[in-house]
């Protein structure tokens, strides 16, 4: 600033530049003011807790006495923790089935709903409806359907002379029951696919039809490749979501994750560790393992990207 005025050769030009940089500075100051809530939120509710959680994962802390640094002990304990291994296995299995299941259900529904017919608005709402119902209510609804004695599923099975199992009390069926319930809320995935479908140029299908491609072939060779970026988005969101499912198993099993821990998803195990046993350090270690798994899975999806995501040249 001092130098610009000292030059003094073209006072007019210098003063406009001065004013401009003053305006620029004012703009920057205001920009920071506007960003303040977001930046504070980032520090207070994301980065700060993340660092604190990483630190706590190396401590033993019961909230009564100060955290005691114990190095890698929590992680070593996790490796030998049979219940954790079970919980991890259950969670991965849940994700491996529920995420693709939701994608397929969402895509099929979206293709069926992507048409101009009367009543389509009603159908779109109907298919999305389960997704606005909260996890607790969803669990309540399905607990009734799954009831061994007077639930709807076993009533239907009894029409065919089949004696239905205890869906939630038999170890073999509890987790699949939970998965099926999870796939029921495919509405979000479906709407994202629907938006994606509507951005596919129609002439692609017309050209394929002229070439004599059948319906299934058209979907296989046009719809699925053209939607690959949407699939990618749904996949990432789905993985993150599947590793955070809590309300459903909590309500269905009264917080136990039974029968025989077969529905003990990791968030439930973490909840128990932190809030029932007050092992905050150990719970933080679990949280970081969950986070690491999320990162690894997401990274795998990203890495596999060039193999299956179709990008059109000239697309933004």
* In the complex, least distance from residue 298 CB atom to another protein, rounded to whole angstroms: 7
* Closest CB to another protein among residues 6, 210: 210
In terms of Cα–Cα distance, which of 76, 57, 99 is closest to 270? 57
* In the complex, least distance from residue 269 CB atom to another protein, rounded to whole angstroms: 11
* Closest CB to another protein among residues 10, 50: 50
* Closest CB to another protein among residues 86, 123: 123
Measured between alpha carbons, how far is 18 from 21 in angstroms, rounded to an integer? 5
* In the complex, least distance from residue 308 CB atom to another protein, rounded to whole angstroms: 16
* Closest CB to another protein among residues 8, 314: 314
Measured between alpha carbons, how far is 58 from 258 in angstroms, rounded to an integer? 29
In terms of Cα–Cα distance, which of 280, 268, 295 is closest to 91? 268
DSSP assignment of 136-180: HHHHHHHHHHH-TTT-HHHHHHHHTT-----TTTSHHHHHHHHHH
* Closest CB to another protein among residues 51, 83: 51
* In the complex, least distance from residue 152 CB atom to another protein, rounded to whole angstroms: 5
* In the complex, least distance from residue 165 CB atom to another protein, rounded to whole angstroms: 16
**Distance set, CA 246 to CA 166, 271, 282 (Å):** 22, 9, 19
* In the complex, least distance from residue 210 CB atom to another protein, rounded to whole angstroms: 16
Structure tokens at 221: 């060779």
* Closest CB to another protein among residues 37, 71: 37
**Which residues lie closer than 8 Å to 157 by C-beta, 6 or more apart?**
163, 164
């Amino acid at each position: 600033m001092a130098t610009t005025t000292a030059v003094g050769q073209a006072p007019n030009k210098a003063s406009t530049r001065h004013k401009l940089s003053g305006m620029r500075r004012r703009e920057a100051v205001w920009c920071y003011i506007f960003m303040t809530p977001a930046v504070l939120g980032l520090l207070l509710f994301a980065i700060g807790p993340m660092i604190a959680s990483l630190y706590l994962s190396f401590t033993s802390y019961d909230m009564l006495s100060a955290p005691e640094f114990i190095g890698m002990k929590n992680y070593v304990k996790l490796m030998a923790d049979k219940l954790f291994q079970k919980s991890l296995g259950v969670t991965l299995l849940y994700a491996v089935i529920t995420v693709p299941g939701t994608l397929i259900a969402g895509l099929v529904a979206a293709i069926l709903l992507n048409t101009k017919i009367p009543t389509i608005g009603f159908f779109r709402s109907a298919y999305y409806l389960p997704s606005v119902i909260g996890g607790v209510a969803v669990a309540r609804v399905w607990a009734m359907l799954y009831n061994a004695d007077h639930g709807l599923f076993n009533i239907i099975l009894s029409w065919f002379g089949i004696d239905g199992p205890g869906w939630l009390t038999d170890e073999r069926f509890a987790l699949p029951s939970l998965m099926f319930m999870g796939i029921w809320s495919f509405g979000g995935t479906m709407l994202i696919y629907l938006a994606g479908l509507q951005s596919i140029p129609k002439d692609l299908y017309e050209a394929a039809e002229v070439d004599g491609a059948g319906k299934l072939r058209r979907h296989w060779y046009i719809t699925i490749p053209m939607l690959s970026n949407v699939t990618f988005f749904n996949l990432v969101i789905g993985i993150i979501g599947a590793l955070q499912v809590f309300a459903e198993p909590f309500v269905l099993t009264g917080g136990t994750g039974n029968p025989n821990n077969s529905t003990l998803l990791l968030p439930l195990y973490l909840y128990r560790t932190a809030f029932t046993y007050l092992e905050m350090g150990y719970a933080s270690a679990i949280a970081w393992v969950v986070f690491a798994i999320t990162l690894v899975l997401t990274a795998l999806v990203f890495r596999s990207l060039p193999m299956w995501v179709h990008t059109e040249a000239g697309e933004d």
